[in-house]
């Protein structure tokens, strides 16, 4: 059988990884797919550099030439960005091609439109590489857990943030110092906003939630809080209490609706997930029949991401001449069965909390604080009071609460901050037990 013909959009880190992996493992890939996978054409910004890297591939500057080319079966989009990428993908679909993409931002923000067009054209859009790099989490959620009602997902899905948090804990360095180091090592971009402010994780969470719960993408509803405000002090106190702080993307189905949130989170240090360090990613899925299952591995990088791109290529190669009814639906559920589910606002979310207060060290202060919490029905699970230094009259108090509604904690914080015996803002970090029962 003739090889399937690929048009590649982008020859950056992931594009080059894809070319390299397809070349190196050509034999094994063909033995699996039943036919060859051949890159016919690639669009790249720097033509000379691209030709030098891949002299056997026809390189063009204009990506529209690739999507319009009649000899291309599958378009691989690894150029990133929203426009003109969205337009390119829609045009590829409308000209009868299939698409493999690693573009989490595009899918989270315009996935509903893209999947609708794919449905009309009978095209496949495969996107394993969009979430957690090479870890096959999309396949697991879409195909491995079809028997289950998925209850919640909690993921370390941004390697840059996890690297920074791991280093802050192990080396006691500040956020800014570690960020610079991450930039030097190539783990963080020059403009790291998307990674450290949780936007990248929110894109990935949006995609996982859609597949898990059979609902459209709702990136605009994800609560997003990054790690740039975290201090070494809180990491240290959390450690003393038996917890680690991780930037988690969390989605959970409750009787009132679905939670969608990305924020720094205290998790028990004994959990496997708490011990996922550096640029690694990990996704913990709780499902009713299976229980809890953890997938962990490299969440970014050239070849790990290419591993997911090529796995998608093999899947699409196998299925592209099959009747669409035989295919796995894009979002796990058949399109006609997708349905809107209420998304909870952060105020409505139930979780536990870490609170750090700087209090004036004198009798009665703790009574004031605990009275406020009691009035709002927030109960305390653990407390840590640091010895004040001889000269200072202000002392840190750390409290861990039981589960409560965020609205109550916010109300308690407003009242506590109004106390004269409390200095400055109260630090509030959410806390999850990740109980697997």
Strand-pairing partners, residue 87, are none
Among 73, 77, 109, 128, binds a copy of itself (CB under 8 A): 128
d(CA 174, CA 233): 10
Complex with a copy of itself: residue 171 or 220, whichever CB lies closer: 171
Query: Are the CB atoms for 109 and 219 separated by under 8 Å?
Result: yes
Instruction: Name the one range near a copy of itself by CB under 8 A: 185-193, 329-337, 353-361, 417-425.
Output: 329-337
For a copy of itself, the closer of residues 222 and 310 by Cβ is 310
Nearest CB to a copy of itself, comparing residues 93 and 285: 285
Residues 153-212 that bind a copy of itself (CB under 8 A): none
Per CB under 8 A, 237 contacts a copy of itself: no
418: Cβ–Cβ under 8 A, 6 or more apart, which residues?
A: none
Q: Is 34 left (phi over 0), alpha (psi -120 to 50) or beta?
A: left
Q: How many CB atoms lie within 10 A of CB 322?
A: 10
Length of the chain: 437
Closest approach of a copy of itself to the CB of residue 46, in Å: 24
Going residue by residue from 276 to 295, which x/- string records binding to a copy of itself, judged by CB under 8 A? x----------xxxxxxxxx
Structure tokens at 195: 């990674």
Q: How far is the CB of 316 from a copy of itself (least distance, A)?
A: 11
Q: Smallest distance from the beta carbon of 283 to a copy of itself, in angstroms?
A: 11
Tell me the closest approach of the beta carbon of residue 132 to a copy of itself, in angstroms. Answer: 10
Query: Which residue stretch of 101-109, 129-137, 226-234, 414-422 sits at the interface with a copy of itself (rule: CB under 8 A)?
Result: 129-137
Size of site (CB under 8 A) for a copy of itself: 67
CB 79 within 8 A of CB 9: yes
Contact between 32 and a copy of itself per CB under 8 A: yes
> Between 305 and 351, whose beta carbon lies closer to a copy of itself?
305
Our answer to whether residue 204 is catalytic in this structure is: yes
Q: Please classify residue 83 by burial: count the beta carbons closer than 10 Å to its beta carbon, then call 0-12 exposed, 13-18 middle and 19+ buried.
A: exposed
Q: Which is nearer to a copy of itself, 137 or 196 (CB)?
A: 137
Among 116, 120, 143, 347, interactor with a copy of itself by CB under 8 A: 143
User: Distances from the Cα of 43 to the Cαs of 26, 128, 310, in angstroms?
Assistant: 22, 21, 18
Query: Per the residue annotation, which of 97, 104, 204, 246 is the catalytic one?
Result: 204
| Residue 318 contacts a copy of itself per CB under 8 A | yes
Residue 313 contacts residue 27 (beta carbons within 8 Å): no
279 φ, ψ to 5°?
Answer: -80, 5
Which residues, in sequence order, are CB contacts of 308 under 8 Å at separation 6+? 102, 128, 129, 133, 134, 135, 136
Which residue number, 33 or 202, has a Cβ lying nearer to a copy of itself? Answer: 33
Peptide bond into 96 cis (omega under 30): no
Sign for the CA dihedral angle at 120, 123, 129, 134 comes to: positive
Q: Kindly tell me which residue out of 9, 67, 130, 310 binds a copy of itself, with binding defined by CB under 8 A.
A: 310
Just list the catalytic residues.
Answer: 204
Residues engaged in binding a copy of itself (CB under 8 A): 17, 21-22, 24-25, 28-34, 128, 134-136, 139-140, 143-149, 214, 272, 275-276, 287-298, 301, 303-304, 306-311, 313-315, 318-319, 321-323, 325-329, 332-334, 337
């Amino acid at each position: 059988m003739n090889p399937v013909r690929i048009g590649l959009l982008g020859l950056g880190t992931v594009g080059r990884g894809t070319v390299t992996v397809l070349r190196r493992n050509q034999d094994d890939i063909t033995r699996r797919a039943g036919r060859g996978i051949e890159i016919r054409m690639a669009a790249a910004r720097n033509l000379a550099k691209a030709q030098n890297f891949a002299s056997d591939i026809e390189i063009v500057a204009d990506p529209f030439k690739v999507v319009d080319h009649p000899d291309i079966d599958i378009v691989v989009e690894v150029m990133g960005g929203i426009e003109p990428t969205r337009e390119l993908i829609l045009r590829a679909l409308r000209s009868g091609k299939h698409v493999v993409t690693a573009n989490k931002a595009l899918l989270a923000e315009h996935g509903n439109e893209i999947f609708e067009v794919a449905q009309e054209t009978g095209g496949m859009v495969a996107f394993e590489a969009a979430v957690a790099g090479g870890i096959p989490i999309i396949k697991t959620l879409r195909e491995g857990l079809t028997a289950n009602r998925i209850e919640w997902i909690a993921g370390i899905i941004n390697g840059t943030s996890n690297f920074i948090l791991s280093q802050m804990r192990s080396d006691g360095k500040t956020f800014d110092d570690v960020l610079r180091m991450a930039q030097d090592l190539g783990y963080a971009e020059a403009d790291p906003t998307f990674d450290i402010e949780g936007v990248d994780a929110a894109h990935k969470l949006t995609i996982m939630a859609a597949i898990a719960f059979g609902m459209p993408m709702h990136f605009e509803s994800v609560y997003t809080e990054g790690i740039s405000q975290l201090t070494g002090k809180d990491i240290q106190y959390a450690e003393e209490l038996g917890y680690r702080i991780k930037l988690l993307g969390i989605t959970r189905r409750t009787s009132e609706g679905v939670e969608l949130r990305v924020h720094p989170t205290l998790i028990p240090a004994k959990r496997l997930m708490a011990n996922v360090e550096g640029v690694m990613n990990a996704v913990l899925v709780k499902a009713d029949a299976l229980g809890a299952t953890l997938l962990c591995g490299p969440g970014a990088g050239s070849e790990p991401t290419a591993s997911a791109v090529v796995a998608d290529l093999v899947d699409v190669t196998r299925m592209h001449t099959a009747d669409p009814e035989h295919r796995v639906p894009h979002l796990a559920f058949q399109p006609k069965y997708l349905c809107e589910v209420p998304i909870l606002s952060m105020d409505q979310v139930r979780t536990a909390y870490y609170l750090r207060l700087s209090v004036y060290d004198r009798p009665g202060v703790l009574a004031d604080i605990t009275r406020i919490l009691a009035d709002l029905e927030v109960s305390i699970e653990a407390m840590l009071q640091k010895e004040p230094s001889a000269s200072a009259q202000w002392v840190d108090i750390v409290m861990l609460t039981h589960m409560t509604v965020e609205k109550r904690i916010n109300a308690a914080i407003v009242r506590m901050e109004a106390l004269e015996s409390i200095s400055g803002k109260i630090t509030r970090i959410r806390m999850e037990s990740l109980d697997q029962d």
